[in-house]
Amino acid sequence: MEITAEMLFYRLSKRYALLREVVGTPGLEVRDICLWRAGEPFGEDGVLYLLRSGEIPVRIPARGPGMFFFCGPGAKASSELLQEDTYAVLAEEISPDLLQTECLKVCNELMRWDARFFEAVIHREEARKVMAWGQDMLDWAYAVIDVDFNNLYSTPDYRILVNTKADYIPREVALALMMNPDFHAVAELRESFYYFEEYNGYDALCGNIFLNGSYCARVVMYVGGKGSRIPAGARAIFERFTAHLEELFACNPDLIGGDARDQLHHLFQALATDEKPDPSFRSAVLKKVGWKQNDLYTVIKLRFYEAAGWNTQLATTLPYLIRELEEEWPNSCAVMDGLAVFWVINMSLSKADTDQHSFHQRVASFVRDHVCNAGISSRFCDFSLVPYAVRAADVALRIGQTKHPHFWYYLFDDYRLEYMLGKVREELPDSILCHPAMTRLTVYDGEHHTELSKTLRAYLECNLNMTAAAGQLYIHRTTFCRRMDHIRRLTGLDTADPDTILTLLLSYRLYAPE
């Protein structure tokens, strides 16, 4: 552990009052502690010099920033002290030997405290126990809050301050944070930062924890009312504590959930990203949460509107929205996919959603409230089909937003044919795929100003009913029959052949979709 001068000053201030502390250059590491003797020049980097009250250090020319500890209040400002120097002055006089002994004690305490975290990682200590060790060096109430607003750990005085016994942030508090752009902006910060929480009037020193490059939790330490700040040394120790917790998360990814529900999240996340989890793992997880392989399921993809600066807010908002989804639909599981959400619902266990229309209305209400769109897969009875249902939901959203951008949600059932036609077009152009009869009639109509192609299409779309087709075109049935005879003479079509009918219908959808 790199012990800095400000860390040492802060910990010693718990035993001896400081008259003054100046941190000219933050982060200077203390590698040695020496008594300064009168007339002796100093110049070694990493040395904290202890001076009697009234002594003036002699500087070596061109020396960099120094570290000094004055043993009493008689210390006077000297032209030898630079603006970049870091020093502290005790409020009451003590001997340099005693101060040296006390400094060494503090260094040993900090080193032992730091080593405990490394041992905890190696020996897999219980996470909440490790999170409590911050109290050994820090004097303020703090909590570790994950990205889903779960309270992973909090000191007793923190719970008193926020007036809660729950292991999660109260809904009204979470919503207040969600509405504050500053809350989302600081989620990308790697350094510690102060954040004023308007809902309780406290200033907090915060440190973000990242797992695999993504924000996953935050250490929040209340330091007092608005504008309150803590000593630089305390902040440095807080940052060290936060760094240790990040190592703890990296070695224990299950800290962000480790029960059956969280295993379901891991399983669904793997399936949604085309991984192939072991079938025995899939069966074990489904059994733990009370789901069956052959239950009725549907998958939904939620995509949120993008705007300037909104992506950062989404990154911190989506985990909370996922929790809301799963609270409203308890028999469901939702995971993030970038800045979108995939969501699988067990319809067999969701008794309130047996009616598809009412279910779709509930989904519509959610997407309107949260300014997003939804693609909904067909319902299916085999959990192993989840990866395909994920794609179907994505397809519904992609095609639906193109064809009907004003809709809130899109059903794959409504766009299945559009998707199939799109797949057909992947290798051959429409002019090759379409039935030659349709092509022949289109060319003939252009040359003779007739409507034979339109007539054939109406006949096909009216299920080969001439009367209905004639009505659709607003012409007499006899006129329609003559046109059909003309079509047969030109093309030689056999309209009694089911394959011919299907090919012609697909051709009209491919080449003349309107």
* Superfamily in which the 127-255 domain is placed by CATH: GAF domain (3.30.450.40)
- Give the per-residue pLDDT at 223: 95
DSSP 3-state of 375: strand
The pLDDT profile of the chain, 514 residues, written as one tens digit per residue, is 899 999 999 999 999 999 999 999 999 999 999 987 766 666 678 899 898 876 666 554 546 788 889 998 876 555 456 688 899 999 999 999 999 999 999 999 999 999 999 999 888 888 889 999 999 999 999 999 988 788 889 999 988 888 766 666 776 777 777 667 778 788 889 999 999 988 788 999 999 998 777 788 999 999 999 999 999 999 999 999 999 999 988 877 656 555 677 778 888 988 988 888 888 888 888 988 899 999 999 999 999 876 545 555 666 778 888 888 888 888 999 998 888 899 999 999 987 667 888 888 888 998 888 888 999 999 999 999 999 999 999 999 999 999 999 999 999 999 999 898 888 888 888 778 889 999 899 999 999 999 999 999 999 999 999 999 999 999 999 999 999 999 999 999 888 889 999 999 988 888 765 5
3-state secondary structure 192-229: CEEEEECCCCEEEEEEEEEECCEEEEEEEEEEEECCCC
Interatomic CA distance for residues 466 and 54, integer angstroms: 113
Give the phi and the psi of residue 403 in degrees, each rounded to 5: -85, -35
- Give the per-residue pLDDT at 215: 83
User: C-alpha distances in angstroms, 25 versus 65, 389, 395?
Assistant: 7, 58, 57
Sign (positive/negative) of CA torsion 268, 270, 274, 275? negative
- Give the per-residue pLDDT at 313: 67
Taking Cα atoms as reference points, which of 218, 15, 228, 226 lies closest to residue 140?
228
User: Model-level pTM?
Assistant: 0.61
Q: What residues contact residue 93 under an 8 Å CB cut-off, 6+ apart?
A: 53, 71, 72, 73, 74
- Give the per-residue pLDDT at 308: 46
DSSP 3-state of 40: coil
Interatomic CA distance for residues 227 and 315, integer angstroms: 28
User: C-alpha distances in angstroms, 181 versus 149, 226, 317, 371?
Assistant: 17, 18, 11, 16
**Quick check: 145 and 131 in contact, CB under 8 A?**
no
- Maximum CA extent, the chain: 123
3-state secondary structure 111-151: HHHHHHHHHHHHHCCCHHHHHHHHHHCCCCCEEEEECCCEE
DSSP 3-state of 140: coil
Interatomic CA distance for residues 405 and 395, integer angstroms: 14
Q: What residues contact residue 482 under an 8 Å CB cut-off, 6+ apart?
A: none
Amino acid making up residue 342: F
- Give the per-residue pLDDT at 186: 87
Give the phi and the psi of residue 216 in degrees, each rounded to 5: -130, -20
Task: Indicate the pairing of strand 372-376 with strand 409-411.
Answer: parallel
Tokens 């999170």, residue?
A: 131
Interatomic CA distance for residues 42 and 46, integer angstroms: 11
DSSP 3-state of 441: helix
Amino acid making up residue 153: Y
Percent helix, strand and coil across the chain, each rounded to 5?
50, 20, 30
CB atoms within 10 A of CB 371: 10
CA 414 to chain centre: 31
Q: What residues contact residue 48 under an 8 Å CB cut-off, 6+ apart?
A: 5, 8, 30, 32, 33, 34, 67, 68, 69, 103
Q: CATH number of the domain at 260-421, please?
A: 3.30.70.270
DSSP state for residue 62 in the 8-state scheme: T
Task: Indicate the pairing of strand 67-70 with strand 86-90.
Answer: parallel
Q: CATH number of the domain at 430-511, please?
A: 1.10.10.2840
- Give the per-residue pLDDT at 339: 80
